[in-house]
């Protein structure tokens, strides 16, 4: 019969990894919301000129 034991350092590193992942996902969400609202409140010509090449590279019509 074999037993599997996890040390406290292994458990701590897993919980730290989970917390780090949560922080990264939260930061990405906040960044995305900021970008979305920043572009949403720009005058259309600025938003269009800034995203023009990217729109066309994804075959998104903008004209």
Asked if 52 contacts 62 with a C-beta cutoff of 8 angstroms, the reply is yes
Q: Quick check: is 15 in a domain?
A: no
For residue 11, pLDDT beyond 70: no
Number of structural domains, the chain? 1
In a domain, 41, yes or no: yes
Dihedrals phi, psi of 26, to nearest 5 degrees: -65, -40
Separation in Å, CA 4 to CA 7, 15, 27, 47: 10, 19, 36, 57
Residue 44 located in a structural domain: yes
What are the pLDDT digits (tens) for 20-60? 899 999 999 999 988 888 777 777 777 767 777 777 777 77
Residue 8 lies in a domain: no
By residue range, what is the domain housing residue 41?
30-63
Better pLDDT: 16 or 17: 17
In a domain, 12, yes or no: no
Looking up tokens 């090449």 gives 53
| pLDDT for position 31 | 94
In a domain, 20, yes or no: no
């Amino acid at each position: 019969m074999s037993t599997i034991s996890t040390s406290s350092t292994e458990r701590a590193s897993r919980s730290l990894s989970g917390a780090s992942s949560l922080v990264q996902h939260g930061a990405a969400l906040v960044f995305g919301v900021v970008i979305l609202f920043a572009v949403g409140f720009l005058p259309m010509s600025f938003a269009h000129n800034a995203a023009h090449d990217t729109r066309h590279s994804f075959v998104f019509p903008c004209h």
